[in-house]
Amino acid sequence: MADYYLLFGPPGVGKGTQADRLEKTLDLAHVATGDLFREHLKKNTPLGRLARSYIDHGALVPDDVTIGMVAERMTDPDTQKGMLLDGFPRTVAQADALSKMLADRGQKIQRVLFITAPKDVLIERLGHRMTCSNCGTIYNAQTQLPKNARVCDVCGGEVIQRSDDTPDTQRKRIEVYLEQTIPLVDYFEQRGLLVTIQGEQSIDRVYDDLLHAIEAAKKTG
């Protein structure tokens, strides 16, 4: 059976850093919905054009469009051992759809890894966040700089700090995320899948806790 783990948590909690490490350790495809959206929009695929029709009008992209992108990604060869899903599901409807997609393949979610941290910690971290203006790769001015100053390691694009990342904006984003996440936390907790990881710890300690949760999931089947 393939392994499927969900990784989620608020902005600034360090999901991207941990996902990169887990992807190598577990030899699983790291699938981030943000990356899927950027790829579909860049390639102007049918799903990308459909998503853009909502984005251009300031509307939320419907669940079925996001689900379609994930379903298509699940057919790629590198996902056959399983996936580390990052940023999906975002709603209970998406969670139901994912469970059905996996059940149709005789698969299931092994663990949901919820990394969280106090708001003040998240705001502090977001104040040091840097983003590639081309591919969206996230860096941190304190803990994860690009190898060459202001040059993205992935695509060579310019790495910038967004001018709209003010403390008030960041606080609002965190509050909105946590509000939207509560139904999912309850959803997975009721199914015995949720493990909460304290994200204010060091990067290595968070990583160790994630691996411990994954090893525990493998033992229980």
DSSP state of 9: -
CA dist 37 and 81 (Å) reads 23
Calpha distance 155→136 (Å, rounded)? 10
Tokens coding 175: 């509050």
Q: Give CA–CA dist 57/164, Å, rounded.
A: 21
Residues noted as catalytic: 15, 90, 129, 162, 173
Task: Answer yes or no: are the C-beta atoms of 155 and 137 closer than 8 Å.
Answer: yes
- In angstroms, the CA 95 to CA 67 distance is 10
Q: How many CA atoms lie within 13 A of 189 on its CB side?
A: 8
Which tokens in the block code for residue 114? 């919820």
End-to-end CA distance of the chain: 10
- Burial (CB < 10 A; 0-12, 13-18, 19+), residue 171, is middle
Burial of 149 (0-12, 13-18, 19+ CB in 10 A): exposed
